[in-house]
């Protein structure tokens, strides 16, 4: 059984993915997580700001760990295709409801500077991890970081397009084009 902190974080990630930061309220977080109001301030002294920043950080860490597992694929084109197809399949399975908690954090606005900063750190961590994966799977080290940044940007854009159109097509197009570019980097 998970404790109140873990339930609050998991619930926050889910709600942020569905509704964004501003649309995620404390009352709903408490209700959905089954925790008492005091739990928020016990574990997150500044309330919603701390909780959302921690949730975004945790989602960033989870994403980074997932990216690290892609080293086993052995080919940069296969890596980028796997990223896009996994996101496509997840979004399709959940009915195009969930977005990226990191993107939602990045777009939280000036009322949530800690959340925006945490999202920036998470995105930088994803780029760093993916660059390492790409380099380990055959891409030149000097190309890996800018290419990883491109992949993360395309991923987030495809996610927005797919949610808006309720179609997997943006991820399929992204996978095809990024695989071509990855192969060109190896030539």
Q: What are the extents of the domains in the chain?
A: 57-186
Residue 186: which pLDDT band, with cuts at 50, 70 and 90? confident
**Mean pLDDT of the 144-170 span:** 97
**Mean pLDDT of the 91-106 span:** 95
On the 0-12 / 13-18 / 19+ scale of CB atoms within 10 A, 20 is middle
CB 33 within 8 A of CB 6: no
What's the distance, Cα to Cα, between the start and end of the chain in Å?
A: 51
**Mean pLDDT of the 85-104 span:** 95
pLDDT tens digits for range 30-77: 999 999 888 888 998 888 999 999 999 999 999 999 999 999 999 999
Residue 40: per-residue pLDDT: 87
Distance (Å, whole) CA 109 – CA 102: 13
Pick from 118, 116, 122, 112: which is nearest to 47 by CA? 112
pLDDT tens digits for range 8-23: 999 999 999 999 999 9
In CATH terms, the superfamily for domain 57-186 is: Tetracycline Repressor, domain 2 (1.10.357.10)
Distance (Å, whole) CA 182 – CA 187: 9
Residue 187: per-residue pLDDT: 65
**Mean pLDDT of the 97-102 span:** 95
Query: Cα–Cα distances in Å, from 157 out to 16, 49, 154, 162?
Result: 17, 26, 5, 9
Q: What is the pTM of this model?
A: 0.93
Residue 84: which pLDDT band, with cuts at 50, 70 and 90? very high
26 Cβ partners below 8 Å, 6+ apart? 37, 40, 47, 48
**Mean pLDDT of the 90-119 span:** 95
* Res 1 pLDDT > 70: no
Average pLDDT, the chain: 95
Query: Cα–Cα distances in Å, from 19 out to 38, 56, 91, 169?
Result: 24, 14, 15, 23
């Amino acid at each position: 059984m998970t404790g109140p902190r873990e339930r609050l974080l998991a619930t926050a990630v889910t709600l942020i993915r569905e509704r964004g930061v501003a649309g995620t309220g404390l009352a709903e977080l408490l209700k959905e997580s089954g925790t008492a109001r005091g739990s928020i301030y016990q574990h997150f002294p500044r309330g919603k700001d701390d909780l959302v920043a921690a949730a975004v950080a945790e989602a960033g860490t989870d994403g980074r760990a997932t990216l690290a597992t892609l080293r086993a694929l052995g080919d940069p084109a296969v890596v980028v295709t796997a990223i896009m197809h996994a996101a496509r399949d997840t979004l399709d399975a959940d009915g195009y409801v969930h977005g990226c908690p990191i993107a939602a954090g990045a777009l939280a606005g000036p009322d949530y500077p800690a959340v925006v900063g945490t999202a920036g750190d998470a995105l930088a961590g994803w780029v760093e991890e993916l660059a390492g994966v790409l380099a380990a799977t055959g891409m030149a080290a000097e190309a890996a970081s800018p290419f990883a940044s491109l992949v993360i940007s395309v991923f987030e854009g495809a996610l927005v397009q797919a949610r808006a159109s309720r179609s997997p097509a943006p991820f399929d197009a992204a996978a095809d084009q990024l695989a071509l570019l990855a192969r060109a980097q190896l030539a």
